[in-house]
Amino acid sequence: MRKKGEYSDEPIGRLQIVKDFLPRPEELVFKEDNVKVTLSLSRESVDFFKAEAKRNRTQYQKMIRRLLDIYVINQRA
């Protein structure tokens, strides 16, 4: 269990305003150059990815896409 901090009304010291350095929310969205394809997969594979995606709170299509991307990267090396 964490120990609770103790606070006082004492002055903190000299404050300094810093320039806003955080990117805008739309700059945080990773844009991929995707191409839609039709692909038939085995029920076993789809069920596996759906279960893993649910467990990891993500989308199963994203997991499959990432797996293929990693495969391509390793084949190029």
Q: Where exactly are the structural domains of the chain?
A: 42-77
- Residues 58 and 65: beta-carbon distance below 8 Å: no
pLDDT digits (tens, 9 = 90+) for 41-77: 999 999 999 999 999 999 999 999 999 999 999 999 7
pLDDT digits (tens, 9 = 90+) for 7-41: 788 888 888 888 887 778 777 777 788 899 999 99
Residue 11 to residue 42: CA distance in whole angstroms:
65
Does pTM surpass 0.85?
no
pLDDT at residue 1 in the model? 62
pLDDT at residue 12 in the model? 81
